[in-house]
Amino acid sequence: MIKDIESKKLRHQELQRLLSDPKVIANSNLYQKYAREFAELSRLINKYNEYQKLLNDLKDAENCLSEKGHDMSFLELARQEQEKLIKEKVVLEAEIEGLAAGGEDILKSRNIIMEIRAGTGGVEASLFAADLFRMYSKYAQRKGWQTEIMSSNSTEKGGFKEVIFSISGKDVYDRLKFESGVHRVQRVPETEASGRIHTSAATVAVLPEAEDIDVEIKPEDLKIDVFRAGGKGGQHVNKTESAVRITHLPTGFVVSCQDERSQHKNKEKALRVLRARIYDLTKMEQEKKTAKDRKQQVGTGDRSEKIRTYNFPDRRVTDHRIGLTLHGLENILEGDIDKLIDGLKQEEKKLKFGG
């Protein structure tokens, strides 16, 4: 852990230098980006500096106790000081460990865009995608977070082929960053007369929402098409060209939004999703270059990885990355997923610091 903090301390010092660089000051976007990172690292570094000072004070107290020639009253004061410093050391170590384990992660406080897509399993997979959307919406409600649908493609049976939505609030990314991957469901579909259990799947992607200063999107890199919204809806559907499809030429990413009546609002939402995808791609490419980041991941970090199974006959949920099985499937689908998330965060902490 100390080695990891020392590297962050070097980055903190580098940011301090960059923030006084005239070239950085002249570039307001870059300055804001560095200033935010500096502020997010400062709490950890300040706490770490406090810890280093405490270690020196503790060493001084121990030296006093080992020296000869002091009277009993002086030694008693030194012992009291030593006991006080040892207690403070335990508290500081816990605080630093919490901050270093992700408390000051630059993405920790980010809002997210979550994408849920039906996978193998046809109608049953689309219904499961709707179950997952409801589960995360309920969890957001429990946390006091806000959700907003960005784009959706629903089915006649009430499922989703795809649903993209944002979740905003305190530490959203920090709590939901491990949800990316393949979620599998085992249950008897309503249409299955023989009572045979079917296995279906849906994929979940969690993208930290990017800010303008994180990603530069050039107008010439975008192909924007407008078309009439389709599907179920009010009178505006199919009468005006309010739906928007944006193609980012350098990456090939395509985002379509048609849920809003306003073309401007659909374009705004599509750009938010596109910006998050580009930012996420950049983040993943950086992580691939760093072996340390891969070793600290819970699971492979691959979105094609099967991460969790929801078994209806046994009313249990198993997270395969950490081998955690919980019963009470109904409560979990109602948004009671803190035990799963806490287990994943604990595993991340072990991988990071060997605790």
For the chain, what are the domain ranges? 2-103, 112-212+299-353, 219-288
Nearest to 209 by CA among 114, 103, 136: 114
* Three-class DSSP category at 201: strand
Predicted pLDDT at 86: 92
Specify burial of residue 31 (Cβ count, 10 A radius: 0-12, 13-18, 19+).
middle
Predicted pLDDT at 236: 43
Mean pLDDT across the chain, nearest whole number? 86
How does pLDDT run across 150-196, given as a tens digit for each residue?
Answer: 999 999 888 999 999 999 998 899 999 999 999 999 999 876 767 78
Predicted pLDDT at 144: 96
Residues 285/286/292/296 CA torsion (nearest 10 deg): -70
Q: The domain at 2-103 falls in which architecture?
A: Up-down Bundle (1.20)
- The number of helix segments (H) and strand segments (E) in the chain equals 10, 11
Token pair of 150 as six digits: 């960005």
Could you tell me which residue, 345 or 71, shows the higher pLDDT? Answer: 345
**3-state percent breakdown (helix, strand, coil) of the chain, nearest 5:** 50, 20, 30
Does domain 219-288 fall under CATH 3.30.160.20? My reply is yes
Predicted pLDDT at 237: 46
Predicted pLDDT at 103: 45
Nearest to 165 by CA among 178, 175, 151: 151
Is a pLDDT exceeding 80 seen at residue 4? Answer: no
Predicted pLDDT at 291: 53
Q: How confident is the model at residue 348 (pLDDT cuts 50, 70, 90)?
A: confident
How does pLDDT run across 246-265, given as a tens digit for each residue?
Answer: 999 999 999 999 888 889 99
Is the pTM higher than 0.75? The answer reads no
- Rg of the Cα atoms in the chain: 26
Nearest to 131 by CA among 160, 172, 173: 160
Could you tell me which residue, 215 or 330, shows the higher pLDDT? Answer: 330
Q: How confident is the model at residue 233 (pLDDT cuts 50, 70, 90)?
A: very low
Listed as own residue / partner, the contacts of 247-255 with beta carbons closer than 8 Å and 24 or more positions apart are 247/222, 247/223, 248/217, 248/221, 248/222, 248/274, 248/278, 249/221, 249/222, 249/223, 250/221, 251/277, 251/278, 251/281, 253/277, 253/278, 255/151
Taking residue 184's Cβ as centre, other Cβ atoms within 10 Å add up to: 22
Give CA separation, 303 vs 18, 168, 179, 271, in Å.
Answer: 35, 22, 9, 22
Is a pLDDT exceeding 80 seen at residue 72? Answer: yes
Predicted pLDDT at 261: 85
CATH number of this structure's domain 112-212+299-353, picked from the four choices 3.40.190.10, 3.40.50.2300, 3.40.720.10, 3.30.70.1660: 3.30.70.1660
Q: What residue has token string 């709490």?
A: 43
